[in-house]
Each structure stands twice: as structure tokens, then as C-alpha cells.
Amino acid sequence: MRAASTLVSMPGGYPVAWRVASRGVPGTHGCVRYVVKLQEVNPRTVYQVLEETARRHGDAPALRQPDGVSYITYSWNQYRQAVEEIAAGLRSLGLGKGDVVALNSETRLEFYLADLGIMTNGSIAAAMYPSYPARDLVRTIASAGAKAVFVEDPKTLQTLLEAPVRLWILLTGEAEGAVSLEGLRTLGREAMAREPELLARLRAGLQPSDTAILYLTSGATGEPKMALVTHQALVANIDMGPVALPIGPSDATVAFLPSAHIAQRVVMELLPMRMGMPVTFAESLLKLPQDIRKVRPTILLAPPRLWERIYSTICTELRKLPAPIRKAFYGALGLALAAARYRREGKPVPARIRGPLKIADAIFFRKVRGRFGGRLKIPASGAAPLSKDLAEFYEAIGMPIIEGYGLTEGGVVSLNPLDRPKPGSIGVPLPGVEMKLDADGEILIKSPCLFSGYLNDPQTTAEVLVDGWLHTGDLGHADSDGYFFITGRKKELIVSSTGKKVYPSRVENLFKMEPLISQVLLIGDRLPFVTALFTINTAAAETLKGMDQWKGQPAADLAKAPPVLAEIQKAVARVNKQLAPFEQVRKYRVLARDFSIDQGELTATMKVRRTRTMENFKEAIDELYAGRE
């Protein structure tokens, strides 16, 4: 039966065409489509977007890189000039349209210049995750067929020299056998002086349909794949910005996520370029809190792991305070949570809550917000799911986190409206994005931002791109307002030997609200009951009663301390009370160390690679199921 179509208005002002098939209702599987209409598409390349912004904002600040004393600042005109010189320099060295050029660097000003320079030359920018082991990076560079590699510094260069590359370019510093970034720019200036029409020729030879980026997928559910994305797909995504995320020259942010990840690349690199917002780079992760206080961002994109750590730090600090103050804080939090519920339901907050909450905000919550500089309007979360409880905590203290959803193959897909976010939701489709639920609850996407395919892998491409729809591998549902919620990954779904289905991310997120627990991995697929592996937050562990003799000891010793084991047991009991019997954790192990990137257990954005982690801790898992009960 032909689907009916009704135009409705979404929260936040997104106009949505909502198609419901016969007898379909919002949230049911296989029959609901959500479409947000997009303004007329204007096909262009990434470089053309930079040109537009430089014309509009000229000498206004675009990029700010800490140099240990102050900042190196580039205007939009200087940004464009550097990009043009890098593009011309690459062409003069024999790199042409369609050649893959890799980048291995932390997120910094020079990365942005090189990234745009590669794309402007018509080459394909392939960013690596610098936190991955060198052996993996060498293999990835070879698999991508990179002809040149931009490397952050001479020290990093030495770890990658085994890669089959003919040209090495250093973003900072100098080394024998490598071209410096300044040297490359000099070559570009000389090439443009010899051939005044060079830039125009590069520009004319580049089409919106050409490939701009080769993304390396995170590999959270298997081996990483390489996804190809065109200029137009990227530009279509950032053209959704004015409606969904209205930022501009008066805003500020701190960029620190790995640039190989789509959230950082699109939201913190390309979107600010489209909107004219200056970007300040973090000096280092260790100095990130100081950088945030100094810059006083109005928008901050961070993975759930950072928001979890901040929450855990607050809980740890509270534990050190006198009991009356702790009681007052939790009483204030209860009022704030109640007020947030009233606001979400569109109801006025009663005076009996408003008055005390105003005082509580001045005493407690304003101080927490002050850690972010006091100007933060858009605290955003991406790169992994954020737990509903954690989102409700931040909403209560006056920092509602705007969670979105995106993936390497589909771009940034959805976002919570800024004026009405729903905790636990990934929001509503962005303008021009169509989302629907398959029969098994899998989220399917159709949009102008989809990738072109996986590098040299047509079979896998055909498996995820079917009739123009991207099969995301994420399971979810939608509510009557058109907000989507993710319940887990299809590949991660635990089906017990009794046939019960458990969504591990939901259960794991409950454990992440426990300050003592750092990381958790749920186990139980095709097994009679659910078990878990835990790692501990050492800072929280040392604040527990009875831990004096273990303070300053290695994590392995803290994990075995009786007060820690007793508190973990209480935490498991607390979480189990919120779960159905078949979801409850029957047995668990507290591990001697955190999961790590180096051991292949975490992605660069701190998502757990379940299969590898289970392989690495196979002995502990086997013990949990020895003599099954």
C-alpha cells in the first residue's frame, strides 16, 4: 500500500515530512520514515567553501594554535593562502588528482592546513589515528596506497619509515629525507609564480563528485575499513549547519578529538569553516581543562568518555566533603532533576522548586559550569552513545548535552534540537536526511551525505548500501515526536542460550554512572547468564573508606583491595535492581588494568572493541563460566 505523507513541525523548527505506511505508527519497525526538507543543494568543493568564507570574513581569526606562550593565529585569508600554497606544492612534487595522501598527526592548526591543501589539489586526504600502534599505521598506509604522508614531527616520522611511501612531509620540525611544511609552501609559491594559472587549473579540474576523504572506520565491531567520501557529500553535510547548529564568528571552541574521526572532521573542522567560527586547538589532553578555562568556549564537542570522567570527578570530590554538604548537593540535584522533567513536559516549574533551586544553582551548579569557562551554550556529545542517566545529570545542572548521531559511511545524521533536547536520544534527522527502521529495528539512512563505498571492497559496500539506503548496523526506535533512540549494535546484541536478548550498551551505561567503575564489558552471547569485566577508577578507589594503606599503589593492587571489591559488589547490586532478571550480571571480574588502545581493546575515541577485548581476557572470561550455574 502506498505510504501516506503528512507535513509536521519538529521541535527546534525542523520541518519534517513524516511518511507512515499502512497502519504504521511512530516507533514501529519497518514502516516509519522521517524526512527533513533541505534548502536547495548547491554543489561545490570543500575549497570553494573555504573561498566563500574567506571572502566573507577576510582577516577575522580562523585558527589558533598554542605555542607555549601565546597563540599562533591564522585569519581566514591566511588559511586560504596556506591551503593554496600546499595544494600547488603537492602538484609540483608530482602528486595529482585521485592520489591518496595520508596524515598522521594530533589535531592541530597544521593538520587543518594540510587536510584542505590535499583536497584542493584533487588528492584524497586519509587521516590516521596517531594513537594506534606504529605497526598498524604502517599497514594502514600501505593498504590505502598512500603516495605521500604528512607526519606531525620528526619523532613520529621515525616510527613510520617502513611504510612504502615516496614522499614524507613534516607538519612541524625538520628531518633528513622529508620536506617541511614551510618548504612545501615555498615550493607552492614558486610553482604559482612560474605558472600564474596553476590555481585556476587545479580549481577547474576538481568536481564536487570527486573523492575528498578516505576515512578509516573505528573498527569497534571488526577490522577497520576505508570509506570514500566525495566533496559534495561533505559540503551537503555542513550546509545543514545553519539550521541545526547556528554558530558563527562570535562563537569559540577547543578542538582536541582525533581528526581521523568524522565527528571532529565534520563538526569541528569543516562546519566552522562553513560558518566562520574560529577554532582554538588544545595544547594537549593533559592541559585540556586549562585550555577550556582560557578559551571559554561557547560550543564544545567531546566523546561520552570525557563527560563520564567529569561526572566521576565531581562524585569523587563530593565524597571528600562533610556529610551535610553532600546531603545538600544531592537534595539540590533532586530538585534540579524534577525541574528538568517539568520543562521537558512543557509544564511550568512550580514555585516550591524554583525558589530553592535558584539558591542551589548559585551554591553548587554554577561552580560546575564555571569549569567550562562560563560561556558554554552547546555542550555536545558524539563518537559514541551517551547514557540517559548521564544526560539527565548534565541537564539538571544547567548544561543540557546536545547528543547527535553520525557514522563514517553516512556523515552526521541527526541532532537534538538545541531548544528541546531529550536525554538518551540521538535527536531528529538533519535537514535533507531520511531515516527509517527496518523490520528488525535497524536504523536505515538515505541522504546526500552518504559515502561512495569502501576502498577496493565492492562486496561489503553492496551489503551496507542497498537501494540507496545505508544499513547502519545500529538498532533503535523512534518516539511520537520523531526523536530516535539507539538501543545497541546488531553485531553486539547478546542472545543468551535461553533466547533472551540483552542490549549491552544499555546495561554498560548504567554501570558507567558508578564513579568507581572506569570501564565495563558485558558478556553472555549464547551463554546461560550475563557476566562482566570491570576496570576501576583509581582516583575514586583511593577515596573509599579503609583505603589508606593502598593509596599511591599501582592499579593492579587497588583492584584487589577489599574496600574496592566490596564497593564493586554494591555497585553491581544497585545496577541489577534496575534490570530484568535475565539482564542482571551474575558474575564479574575486576581487572588489574584499563582497556587500552595499544592492546587493541579500544578505538581512538575510546569505544571498546568487544571481540579483541574478549580475546585478550579469555582466561578471566572462561573462569566466569567454569562449572556453569
Could you report the per-residue pLDDT of 335-345, keeping only the tens digit for each? Answer: 999 999 999 88
Whether pLDDT at 222 is above 70 = no
Average pLDDT (341-356) is 89
Average pLDDT (348-356) is 90
Q: Report pLDDT for 539.
A: 87
Q: Report pLDDT for 34.
A: 53
Q: Are 288 and 321 in contact (CB under 8 A)?
A: no
Q: Report pLDDT for 207.
A: 96
> Do the bridges between strand 501-502 and strand 494-495 make them parallel or antiparallel, or are there none, so unpaired?
antiparallel
Q: Report pLDDT for 159.
A: 95
CATH 3.30.70.141: does it fit domain 46-298? no
Q: Report pLDDT for 345.
A: 86
| Separation of alpha carbons 112 and 107, rounded Å | 8
Q: Report pLDDT for 109.
A: 97
pTM equals 0.82
Report the range of poorest mean pLDDT among 122-136, 179-193, 452-466, 612-626.
Answer: 612-626
Q: 402 in helix, strand or coil? A: strand
Q: Are 225 and 457 in contact (CB under 8 A)?
A: yes
| Separation of alpha carbons 159 and 155, rounded Å | 7
Q: Report pLDDT for 497.
A: 67
121 confidence band (pLDDT: 50, 70, 90)? very high
Whether pLDDT at 349 is above 70 = yes
Q: Report pLDDT for 383.
A: 75
Better-scored residue on pLDDT, 527 or 478: 478
How many residues in the chain? Answer: 629
- Strands in 328-430 per DSSP E: 378-381, 402-407, 411-415, 428-429
Instruction: For 236, list phi and psi in degrees, rounded to 5.
Output: -60, -40
Average pLDDT (234-251) is 93
Average pLDDT (352-358) is 90
| Separation of alpha carbons 629 and 625, rounded Å | 8
Q: Report pLDDT for 492.
A: 78
Whether pLDDT at 3 is above 80 = no
Chain position carrying cell 593554496:
84
Query: 26-68 pLDDT, tens per residue?
Result: 444 444 455 555 555 689 999 999 999 999 999 999 999 998 8
Query: 258-304 pLDDT, tens per residue?
Result: 999 899 999 999 999 999 999 999 998 888 989 999 999 999 999 88
**DSSP per-residue codes, 364-382:** IIHHHHHTTTS--SEEEE-
Task: Cell numbers for 573, please give them.
Answer: 547490586
- CATH 3.30.300.30 residue ranges for the chain: 493-624
Task: Cell numbers for 349, please give them.
Answer: 516549574
Q: Report pLDDT for 4.
A: 29
Q: Report pLDDT for 226.
A: 92
- CATH 3.40.50.12780 residue ranges for the chain: 46-298, 304-374+377-490
470 confidence band (pLDDT: 50, 70, 90)? very high
Q: Report pLDDT for 318.
A: 87
504 confidence band (pLDDT: 50, 70, 90)? confident
| Separation of alpha carbons 38 and 239, rounded Å | 9
Q: Report pLDDT for 218.
A: 56
Secondary structure of 163-224 in HEC code, one letter for each residue: CCCCEEEECCCCCCCCEEHHHHHHHHHHHHHHCCCHHHHHHHCCCCCCEEEEEECCCCCCCC
Q: Are 119 and 80 in contact (CB under 8 A)?
A: no
Long-range contacts of residues 549-553, Cβ cutoff 8 Å, at least 24 apart: none
| Separation of alpha carbons 18 and 9, rounded Å | 10
b/e 236-274 (16+ beta carbons within 10 angstroms → b): bbbbbbebbbebebebbbbbbbbbbbbbbbbbbbbbbbb
Q: What is the mean pLDDT of the chain?
A: 87
Whether pLDDT at 615 is above 70 = yes
Whether pLDDT at 125 is above 90 = yes
Which CATH fold topology does 304-374+377-490 show? Rossmann fold (3.40.50)
Whether pLDDT at 13 is above 80 = no
User: How many CB atoms neighbour CB 192 within 10 A?
Assistant: 20
Better-scored residue on pLDDT, 530 or 53: 53
- Strands in 309-407 per DSSP E: 378-381, 402-407
Q: Report pLDDT for 36.
A: 53
- Give every CB contact of residue 456 below 8 A, 6+ residues apart in sequence: none
Q: Report pLDDT for 548.
A: 87
Q: Report pLDDT for 111.
A: 98
Q: Report pLDDT for 219.
A: 52
Q: Report pLDDT for 242.
A: 87
**Helix, strand, coil content of the chain in percent (nearest 5):** 40, 20, 40
Better-scored residue on pLDDT, 312 or 77: 77
486 confidence band (pLDDT: 50, 70, 90)? confident
For the segment(s) 493-624, the CATH number from 3.40.50.920, 3.30.300.30, 3.30.2270.10, 3.20.20.220 is 3.30.300.30
Q: Report pLDDT for 312.
A: 85
Report the range of poorest mean pLDDT among 120-134, 217-231, 471-485.
Answer: 217-231
Whether pLDDT at 147 is above 90 = yes
Q: Report pLDDT for 18.
A: 29
Task: Cell numbers for 559, please give them.
Answer: 583492584
* The Cα angle at residue 464 between residues 461 and 465, in degrees rounded to 5: 75
Q: Report pLDDT for 57.
A: 97
